[in-house]
Amino acid sequence: MSRGGDWAAASTDHIMPAAGAAGSTEKLGQASPARKSRRTLWILLGLVLTVLVVAGAVVGGLVAKNVIRVGTRPAAESSSSSSSASSGSSDSGGAGTATSGSSPSSTGGSSASQATASSSATSASGPKPTEAACTKPSEIPSSAKGTWTDPTSWLDMTDFNCTFTDERVGGLPVVGLFSDWDDSARANPNVPPLNKPWGSYDDRPIRGVSLGGWLSLEPFITPSIFDGAVDEYSLCAKLGPKKAAATLEKHYATFVTEDDFKSIAAAGLDHVRIPFSYWAVAVYDDDPYVFGVSWRYLLRGIEWARKHGLRVKLDMHGLPGSQNGWNHSGRQGKVDWLAGPDGATNAKRSLDVHDRLSRFFAQDRYKNVLAFYGLANEPAMSLDQDALIDWTAQAYKIVRGNGVDAPQVFSEALRGLPAWAGKLTGYGDKLVIDVHEYTIFDVNLIKLAHADRVAFACKTFGNQIDTSMDPATGFGPTMVGEWSQADTDCTEYLNGVGNGARWDGTYSGMTSPACPTADKRCSCPKANADPSTYTSDYKRFLLTWAEAQMDTFEQSWGWFYWTWKTESAPLWSYQAGLAGKFLPPRAYQRSWSCSDSVPSFGSLPEFY
């Protein structure tokens, strides 16, 4: 049963529920006298507005005859993203050249969004987006006042359209978006701008990074927020609705900013994977999650990706009931999705969430920037595979049926790529399997010596991928949706609060360290040392280990590093790797590949 915070349900009300405003379901038909007279006022106001809009459209139409370049930014502005990406000379021919294919839709979509899109497309050539007239608090309809669709209540207005609108697509609010968009940027000179086809991912792999811990929180990425809570659910429950909303909105507004997208493009990456969770668009029962606020940050993030020529993989990280019982699904503990007491209900809710999301993301404005649509991150290994296949097929049908053309992505669900040979066939290049490759959650792999770890990435990961990519032996289209440079499991909170680590043998149930030397010389405090203390031998290892993985994973449709930034886990942070020079400054310019021999790492000890 959906609580007040469900936009699809809310759209029949004229109440936009705020996070925590449970049961605010006043129906229009039950309006009080005061509301009725207010309504009369609104009708009058509506008439006046209609006259203004008609007049505006006429003027706009005249303007449009002289202004042909709708939907393109001035060259000077759009080239800034490429110049930021260039320190090498070959980088300078980047964004801002192509101009076609970026004009707002004039076909399809609802008539309401139609009118909005076309009338503003003409005006967009006049005032710049940042000059949009902001709706004043007194102008926000009472039904939206104080809710999360009320722009006058937003913490951060950067690059948000501050004009209130009630408009929705697929039941989801468009408020905050500018009507116009521009797909002419490209991430770097080696990849096409957004408005040109990428081509086959077999030939041109993804080089990407995830924005983990941003819209779906994770304790090891931002331990400072958690303060003892084990997951987003318990954090929100502990803080209560008001404080949770304030804390999370501050996090959304500050943890990832436009600068991050700019730096991601500058690092030679071309895709971003954006994890988010269902409470961006719905909450159920007594969910304590902050409803809706992450939605507009997701939309703004996509616009920033667009601005810097980055293609987006949407990644559904938390589904109702939790698809894996892990903290990054929102709620740690049990899986209540497909299986469990409410498993069937939550599976259905998940399909409903995908129904709305896919109607929204089928809009023309997402056709070029949305490269992949992820259905469910890491469903539990314990789930019945046939049930998972059935759910995936249903979700695929809904999303595709709603007009999302981007390939959809499903997880190998921690049962290994071979388990998917011959399953979910018949989708061609429109369904991709996602595998996450780590060597530290397994006592047999964590003990690999440095040179062996590099060789393992080239050979064993390589074989897994080759086998999976060939439809005769595996599923077919494959991507590596997560990997990192972690060579120990020592990162704080990675294994849970107070759970210890495999590396030094403090993990529950272990009697001796699983590090390569298997002795007391292995220490997590040492392994967690600050990157400024890394020796050049260790950095050479980390760089080689990363380049081995990149090289290997590019035999698939490509890769997404996990993750872009962390508070204190440098081997899980692309940003830290760039700063510490143990990742290549340009992902497409590398110094080592698997066809080279493994370099010497000097006197680098196998323990730390």
Ligand X SMILES: *[C@@H]1O[C@H](CO)[C@@H](O)[C@H](O)[C@H]1NC(C)=O
Q: Hey, which residues are catalytic here? A: 378, 482
Closest CA to 85 of 95, 71, 72, 99: 95
125 close to 67: Cβ distance less than 8 angstroms: yes
At a CB cut-off of 8 Å and minimum separation 6, what does 48 contact?
none
The number of angstroms, rounded, from the C-alpha of 200 to the middle of its chain's C-alpha atoms is 22
370 backbone dihedrals φ, ψ, rounded to 5°? -90, 105
493: left (phi over 0), alpha (psi -120 to 50) or beta: left
Whichever of 260 and 378 has its CB closer to ligand X, that residue is 378
Whichever of 230 and 351 has its CB closer to ligand X, that residue is 230
For residue 136, give the DSSP letter.
Answer: P
Whichever of 226 and 534 has its CB closer to ligand X, that residue is 226
| Rounded least distance, CB 484 to ligand X, Å | 13
Whichever of 112 and 449 has its CB closer to ligand X, that residue is 112
Closest CA to 194 of 285, 58, 95: 95
Tokens, residue 358: 């896919």
For residue 18, give the DSSP letter.
Answer: P
The continuous run of DSSP H or E covering 260 comes out as: helix 258-266
Question: What span, in angstroms and rounded, lies between the C-alpha atoms of 149 and 153?
Answer: 8
Tokens, residue 577: 């790797």
| Rounded least distance, CB 135 to ligand X, Å | 9
Strands, E, within 345-477: which ranges?
Answer: 370-374, 408-411, 431-436
Exposed e or buried b for every residue in 474-490, given b needs 16+ CB within 10 A?
bbbbbbbbbbbbbbbbb
Whichever of 132 and 445 has its CB closer to ligand X, that residue is 132
* Packed helices 258-266 and 293-307: angle between N→C axes, nearest 10 degrees: 40
Whichever of 2 and 114 has its CB closer to ligand X, that residue is 114
Whichever of 230 and 604 has its CB closer to ligand X, that residue is 230
| Rounded least distance, CB 572 to ligand X, Å | 12
Grouping H, G, I as helix, E, B as strand and the rest as coil, residue 282 is strand
At a CB cut-off of 8 Å and minimum separation 6, what does 386 contact?
none
| Rounded least distance, CB 399 to ligand X, Å | 25
What string of DSSP letters covers 453-487? HHHHIIIIIHHHHHHHHSTTTS-SSEEEEE-----
333 close to 322: Cβ distance less than 8 angstroms: yes
| Rounded least distance, CB 503 to ligand X, Å | 14
316 close to 273: Cβ distance less than 8 angstroms: no
| Rounded least distance, CB 297 to ligand X, Å | 17
Whichever of 441 and 607 has its CB closer to ligand X, that residue is 441
Intra-chain end-to-end CA distance of the chain, in Å: 51
| Rounded least distance, CB 490 to ligand X, Å | 13
Q: Could you tell me the CA-to-CA distances from 527 to 318, 488, 545 in Å, in that order? A: 31, 7, 16
| Rounded least distance, CB 127 to ligand X, Å | 7
* Packed helices 111-123 and 33-66: angle between N→C axes, nearest 10 degrees: 50
Whichever of 17 and 176 has its CB closer to ligand X, that residue is 176
At a CB cut-off of 8 Å and minimum separation 6, what does 494 contact?
220, 486, 501, 569
Question: What span, in angstroms and rounded, lies between the C-alpha atoms of 515 and 507?
Answer: 12
| Rounded least distance, CB 223 to ligand X, Å | 8
How many Cα atoms sit within 13 Å of 346 on the Cβ side? 22
At a CB cut-off of 8 Å and minimum separation 6, what does 558 contact?
201, 205, 206, 207, 208, 271, 479, 480
Whichever of 222 and 544 has its CB closer to ligand X, that residue is 222
| Rounded least distance, CB 382 to ligand X, Å | 14
**Where on the chain is the footprint of ligand X (CB under 6 A)?**
116, 120, 124, 129, 132, 161, 163, 165, 167, 178-180, 219, 230, 326-328, 332, 493, 495-497, 499
The one-letter amino acid code at 536 reads S
| Rounded least distance, CB 24 to ligand X, Å | 23
312 close to 305: Cβ distance less than 8 angstroms: yes
Whichever of 156 and 466 has its CB closer to ligand X, that residue is 156
Tokens, residue 519: 């002795």
What string of DSSP letters covers 544-604? HHHHHHHHHHTTTTEEEES-S--SS-GGG-HHHHHHTT-S-SBTTB-S--TTSPPPP-TT-
